[in-house]
Amino acid sequence: MIFDLIKERRSIFPPQYIDKPIPKETIEKILEAANWAPTHKKTEPWRFKVLTGDKKQELGIFLSNKYEEVDPRPKQMKIKKLQFNPSNSGAVIAICMQRDPKESLPEWEEIASVAMAVQNMWLCCTELGIGSYWSSPGLINYMDEFFDLKAGEKCLGFFYLGYFDGEVIPSARTPISEKVEWLD
């Protein structure tokens, strides 16, 4: 049931991933789920760049080098994490947004559409038993140096994927009644 799937969705982080490849067909299924997100004026602004194999390591090296370049006091732990997360993942999907060239709607609506596409991917991963995590470090502002981004395209983060062992810890939420105001 979709309601149960929504409640089970969690961030599963790269250190929890096991060394088990994710088949290309499975990644394509996850991306197909993204393609059915709502989109105002049918702009379909989501764009994805799938990194597997050596390209994951290249991303980690780029991120750690860029971090050392832009941070006046880089931390060794962060450098290692920036390299580890991509390399330990079954795949990394760069989450990008292609701005409508006509700017026929507010940018926030296109960002919201991309976020809904990612939620579809996340729910699909949950159903398939694949851990996933959306990271949006400040370093995404430099991704035009790593990817060939088109005019009006920008990177909004990385979606890390990997199979994992272990149970998913249930999350607690405050009751919805504390977040809703009924107006009659």
Annotated binding-site ranges: 9-11, 40, 134-136
Task: List, as residue ranges, the binding site for FMN.
Answer: 9-11, 40, 134-136
Q: How far apart are CA 105 and CA 44, in angstroms?
A: 12
